[in-house]
Amino acid sequence: MEGALTTLEANDYAYADCFQDGEQKLVAAQSCDGDFDASEKRFDRLITAYTASKSDSSAVTIEELARARERMLPFDETRERWGTSDAAVAAGDQAISTIQASDRRIAVLEAAGSKRTSTLEEIESLAAAADITALDRSRISDQAREALTRAENAKSELAASDLRLAAVGTAFQGDSTASALKRSDLISALSSLTELDLSRASAAQVSLIEQARLTASKYALSDLVDAVKGVDLAALEPEDLIRIQGLATAAREFGGTAVTNLEAKNALAVADQATDRLEQSSRRIVTMNETVMQIEAGGPSGLNDEILTVYDSITEFDINRMSDKDSKAFARLEEARGITLASQRGELTRDIPIYLWISASDDLSALALTEMKRELESQGFTLVEAVERAAIEMRIELSALSEKVVNLQGSRLETVELTLSIKGRWTVGDRALPIPTVEGSAAGSDLLSLSREAVSDAARAAVVQISMLVEL
């Protein structure tokens, strides 16, 4: 009993569940001891979390401080220690508010991220959900992180829209004698506007855009007339045709009235021809890319003459307007064309790409492949690592080893012999490329070494036969 009393503070007497009928009589000293110890642990946890929060503002620390404050009971508030821990308590209350506010922002983000964004209001709502704190970012789930990415993209989209709308005001001076650069800037700014921009433009911006469009239409038509005077469309570079096309589009889309001037009508007709030339070029480039996709899937063997037809259709004009991706596709088409032509001629040269492989998986077959690759490359042949990029496919096959023991002048000598055959074929047309079978042999005392020597001997002999086909 005395031990329990010494561990309780004066203020604890009025509130602990240790008294009956309001009398100053302790009925469960052990229970009171337990209540006090638990209270001490709660205070210790709160103070520890508060101390840590002074130097660490991470989510883990703030969450721990909030949890420690939430664990405090009414019994703790009656103790004298509560008054001496007011700073920790206040910090705990603030941590709870901070976490709750963070939870609300994250919930808004997750809700916005799960919705479609087909309307302006939905896009703006999603973009607003991206305004979260560093604390929120450190606490979000993977699902919320995906929503945040969408929200940030929406926010960037709106920011880009603001810039496009502002660019119109910057470019529009309302001056019919504006410089060529300013005229181009205005046309470019108006052409860049999207449906999103127009849907969120203010009344003042809409009015400005309407005025700017009429002015830009006049600029574009005037510049178009000058651009097509005496020109030969066939001699123009892609960028010149694209400019003519852009001017015609601006004149038509921005203008509020029909074009009646004969010179302007003729200029628009020339622009239509320029557009047609660009569209034909684009179709050829699309066909080229589709053909290359087929080549990558199965090699040139399935396309044959189609590769030549597509390659021959590509013009210098097309090449000059290709993107980096298109240029890589054209290089692949050019490679496939070379394979197709080489296969059709059936003439083996050192420049023709060869794909060398083995059907067996044993060590000696692997050695034969390695040795033949090295020998062929040393002779200047072109090897590739995929049959889809080859004009010739060569499959190496080894016979079983033939072992003999010879007694030579009283010494026992082991010999090993094998044959190496190559099944060659042209990948386009699937025609055979006959290559003579060769033999390899070795003599000595170590059977394993002899086997490898015999394979190397046969590989060298096979390359000699292939080289002789080139010389023929």
Domain range for 207: 168-277
The separation between the first and the last C-alpha atoms of the chain, rounded to the nearest angstrom, is: 115
Q: What is the pLDDT of residue 289?
A: 97
Q: Quote the number of domains for the chain.
A: 4
Q: Looking at the domain assignment, is residue 121 inside a domain?
A: no
Q: Are residue 449 and residue 387 in the same domain, yes or no?
A: yes
Q: Is pTM beyond 0.85 here?
A: no
Q: Which is it for the CA torsion 381, 386, 391, 392, positive or negative?
A: positive
CATH number for the domain that contains residue 459 = 3.30.160.150
| Residues 263 and 205 both lie in one domain | yes
- The secondary structure of residue 289, as a DSSP letter, is H
- Show which of 246, 277, 308 is a domain's final residue: 277
Give the span between the Cα atoms of 433 and 108, in whole angstroms.
69
Cα–Cα dist 342/392, whole Å: 9
pLDDT of 19 higher than 60:
no
pLDDT digits (tens, 9 = 90+) for 268-283: 999 999 999 999 999 9
- The token pair that represents 374 in the structure block: 């090295």
**143 in a domain, yes or no?**
no
> Are residues 259 and 327 part of one domain?
no
Closest by alpha carbon to 286, among 313, 249, 316?
313
Quick one: what percent of the chain has pLDDT higher than 70?
Answer: 89
Q: Which tokens go with 214?
A: 């009429």
- Do the domain assignments include residue 331? yes
Token pair in block for residue 2: 């005395």
Q: Are the CB atoms for 191 and 230 separated by under 8 Å?
A: no
Question: In the structure, what pLDDT confidence band is assigned to residue 10 with cuts at 50, 70 and 90?
Answer: very low
Which residue from 437, 436, 346 is spatially nearest to 391, judged by alpha carbons? 346
Residues 270 and 289 grouped into a single domain: no
pLDDT level of residue 377 (50, 70, 90 thresholds)? very high
Q: Are residues 74 and 21 in the same domain?
A: yes
Residues 36 and 69 in one domain: yes
Q: Which residues face 405 on adjacent strands?
A: 414
Handedness of CA 155, 159, 160, 165 (dihedral sign): positive
243 and 215 in a single domain? The answer is: yes
Query: Is 378 among the domain residues?
Result: yes
In the listed set 84, 113, 135, which residue is the last one of a domain according to the structure?
Answer: 84
Pair 307, 300: CB distance under 8 Å: yes
* pLDDT on residue 239: 94
Supply the pLDDT for residue 174: 64
Q: What pLDDT, in 10s, does the model give residues 188-210?
A: 999 999 999 999 999 999 999 99
- Other CB atoms closer than 10 Å to residue 40's CB: what's the count? 14
Asked, for residue 146, whether it belongs to a domain, the answer is no
Helical residues (DSSP H) of 114-141, grouped into ranges:
120-128, 134-139
Q: Is residue 77 part of a domain?
A: yes
Residues 367 and 413 occupy one common structural domain: yes
Task: Give CA 200 to chain center in angstroms.
Answer: 31
Q: 359 and 456, same structural domain? A: yes
Highest mean pLDDT among 101-110, 144-153, 317-326, 430-439: 317-326
If asked whether residues 37 and 70 sit together in one domain, one would say yes
Q: Which of 195, 196, 200, 190 is nearest to 168 (CA)?
A: 190
**What proportions of the chain, in percent to the nearest 5, are helix, strand and coil?**
65, 10, 25
Tell me, yes or no, whether 72 lies in a domain: yes
Q: Is the predicted pLDDT of residue 8 greater than 50, yes or no?
A: no
Determine the distance from the C-alpha atom of residue 280 to the mean position of all C-alpha atoms in its chain, rounded to a whole number. Answer: 30
Q: Tell me, yes or no, whether 106 lies in a domain.
A: no
| Domain identity same for 185 and 256 | yes
- Local confidence band at 16 (pLDDT 50, 70, 90 cut-offs): very low
DSSP H or E run through 426: strand 411-426
Question: CA–CA distance from 379 to each of 396, 460, 470 (Å)?
Answer: 18, 11, 11
- Give the SS3 label for residue 79: coil
Over residues 169-184, the pLDDT tens digits come to: 999 876 656 788 888 8
Q: Would you state the structure tokens that stand for residue 467, as one six-digit string? A: 């080289």
The mean pLDDT of the chain is 86
Distance, in Å, from the CA atom of 241 to the CA atom of 233, rounded to the nearest integer, reads 8
* 186 and 288 co-located in one domain: no
